[in-house]
Amino acid sequence: MRAKPFLFAAALGLLTISAPAGTVQNFVIVSASNLSPTGGVFDAPDGGRYLGSFAVDQATLPTQTGINVPLVAFDVTVTASAANPSAFPGAQYRPDLGSLGWIALAGTFTDPFSDQALASWGVEFWSSGDIFLMEFVNVESTFTGGQVIFAYERRGSPFRTDTHGSALALDPLFLAPEPGTLVTMLGGAALLCLAERRRRKRS
């Protein structure tokens, strides 16, 4: 049952939408199973969701790991845990609320099954000691999003994670393509993300 989101994402990954370099790229966090704006789900027993949007200036993207680049804009919500609301009451991350957000290159690798070059990007949000971060995998020659392979929220000592790939971080054009949008067939990027998850489990 856990593989179902990845199968859906694999079909979606057959299409990627090209964006010219040096432009602002928008992303939305959606459910991997049905593309709804409800976003991802934290693992049991804590539960709760993470959803929203963020934007990145591609002209400032780092080419090396360990470099944090501020996001252009972001509005991300983490909902309360029904099982443990005192530890995880939920949070909202927006610049006008004093939150900070940035993106960093977590690493690059080649999928062993396809020889496709992939990049892993970490997006982190901070507000008054609360931290939410997620990592998504993207085809290295594009910057239009892919599978969220890990998400994490920490409030002091307690933390909760999503390790099941329940979300995608996607260019909104995937959800409502505009007329004349350049669409290029690049192969199943999200399927490659599943292969990377398998590789991690073996290592």
Q: What is the pLDDT of residues 92-137, one digit of tens each?
A: 999 999 999 999 999 998 878 778 888 999 999 999 889 999 999 9
Rounded to whole angstroms, how far apart are CA atoms 174 and 172? 5
pLDDT for 167: 96
The Cα-based distances of 194 to 10, 85, 139, 185 in angstroms read: 8, 31, 13, 19
Collapsed DSSP state (helix, strand, coil) of residue 136? strand
pLDDT at 135: 97
E runs forming strands in 45-116 = 49-57, 69-70, 73-78, 91-93, 100-110
| The two structure tokens encoding residue 47 | 């539960």
- The overall average pLDDT reported for the chain is 80
For residue 184, the cross-strand partners are 16
* pLDDT above 60 (res 180): no
Placement of tokens 């009451």 in the chain: 89
> What integer is the mean pLDDT of 38-59?
96
**Which has more pLDDT, 127 or 197?**
127
Percent of the chain having pLDDT more than 90? 59
Section 168-196 average pLDDT: 54
Nearest to 109 by CA among 133, 135, 139: 139
